[in-house]
Each structure stands twice: as structure tokens, then as C-alpha cells.
Copies of this chain bind each other. A is one copy, B any other.
Amino acid sequence: MDRSVRHFEEELEALQARLLEMGGLAEERVQAAVQGLVRRDLSLTERVLAGDGPINQLHLEVDERCFRLLALHQPMAIDLRRIVAAVKINSDLERVGDLAVNIAEAAKRYASHAPVKPLIDIPRMAGIAQEMLHDALDSFVRRETTMAQAVLARDDELDALKTQVFRELLTYMLQDPGSIEASLDLILVSRHLERIGDHATNVAEDVIFMVSAQDVRHHPRDTQT
């Protein structure tokens, strides 16, 4: 392997490591925001609200690394697809970080009202969204389309839960107007979780394209609404 090829591979590995670090941070922040909601723990919530610096820093760094790789090494075929996938995954992870902030904001408001019990399927939605994100990033690292396909399938599950959560909360609100504010917060949280699932779906689609050069977007199973 000549020196510049080795250097390129090393840079690509470093890029991947940064993306994984970002993914880990994003997952952690979603987890903390949801735990803040479930336990009504304002110290957790505040930590999420104050802590988006590191993920934003990584967002800039990953973009810069992608540019450098494209400009200096002019990669082709699978390598080019890997880097363009990294550009897109980077945007998706940054948005997931923003959504953790949105969830924390809702959790903070929620803690000021009487709770809607039992938090219905919100914790379950959170679990699925986090698993999807985790598996999507795993499939990126392993360049594994079977795993990526499984992520796409789970998005429908998350979508169905969102609809069900909406209906249940609407029923609460109609029965007990005193629960309106708390229910609204939960509806927003379920939407944020659904969007995290959408971002995981985007990542999985990018992985499938990267590995197989096949575009699976906008086909019958495109349910991102």
C-alpha cells in the first residue's frame, strides 16, 4: 500500500471514529432527555439543555474532514460514496442532538404540570428510536445492508406508536381539560422521537446506497411523513 493510500485510509478511519463519537453523544443526550421526562428530574433536563457544545463541535469537525478528504484525495466509487454518506449522516446526527434539546424543553415544561400517567408508550418509542439510531450507525461501520434494512422496517413501528400515542393523549385531553398542557408536551415529545427514527432511517438508507450503490429511497416503503 503506498503512503498516500495508507494516509487516506487512516483519515477515513478517523472520520468514521468521529461520526461514531457523535452518534454516541447523540444517543446519550436523547437517553438523558427521556430519563429527565420520565423521572421528572430537572438536573438531567438542564444538563441536556446546556450541553450541545460537544456535538456541535463534532458536526463542524466532521464536515471539515469530509471536505479535506474530497479535496486532497479525490476518492472514487465506494470511497466517494462513504464520504458523501458521512456528510449526510453528520447532518442527521446533529439534528438528533437538536431533537434531544427539544425533548428536554418539553420535559422541563412537563415537570411543572401534574403528570399524565402512565407515560403511555413514550418510553417504548424512545427505546425504539435509540435502537434504530444505534443499529443504523453500526450498519455504517460494518457496511452491512441487512442491518440497515432492519432499521427501515422499524420505522413503521415507530410511526404506528406515534399515531396511537396521539389518540390516547387526545382522549385524556377531552376527558380532563386539566391534562391539556401536560398531554401537549407528551404529544410533542412523541413527534420528536418519531423524527429521531426518521433520521436513523436516513442513515440506514445512506448505508444501503453506500454499500450497494442502490437507491432505496422513495420506493413503496418510503413512509417518512
Contacts and interface: CB of A to CB of B under 8 A. Distances in A.
A108 interface: no
B184 A60 contact: no
B80 A215 contact: no
Interface string A159-190: 00000000000100110010011001001100
Interface string A194-225: 00000000100000000000010110001011
Interface stretch (A32-40, A97-105, A120-128, A140-148): A97-105
Contacts of A84: 66-67, 70, 87
A57 B225 CA distance: 17
A74 interface: yes
Interface in A57-100: 57, 59-60, 63, 66-67, 70-71, 74, 76-77, 80-81, 84, 87-88, 91, 98
A84 B64 CA distance: 11
For the complex formed by this chain, how many copies does it contain in all?
Answer: 2
A149 interface: no
A56 interface: yes
Interface of A: 56-57, 59-60, 63, 66-67, 70-71, 74, 76-77, 80-81, 84, 87-88, 91, 98, 101-102, 105, 170, 173-174, 177, 180-181, 184, 187-188, 191, 202, 215, 217-218, 222, 224-225
30 contacts: A56-B217, A57-B218, A60-B215, A60-B218, A63-B215, A67-B80, A67-B81, A67-B84, A70-B70, A70-B80, A71-B77, A71-B80, A74-B74, A87-B87, A87-B88, A98-B225, A101-B225, A105-B225, A170-B180, A170-B181, A170-B184, A173-B177, A173-B180, A174-B177, A174-B180, A177-B177, A180-B180, A184-B187, A188-B191, A191-B191
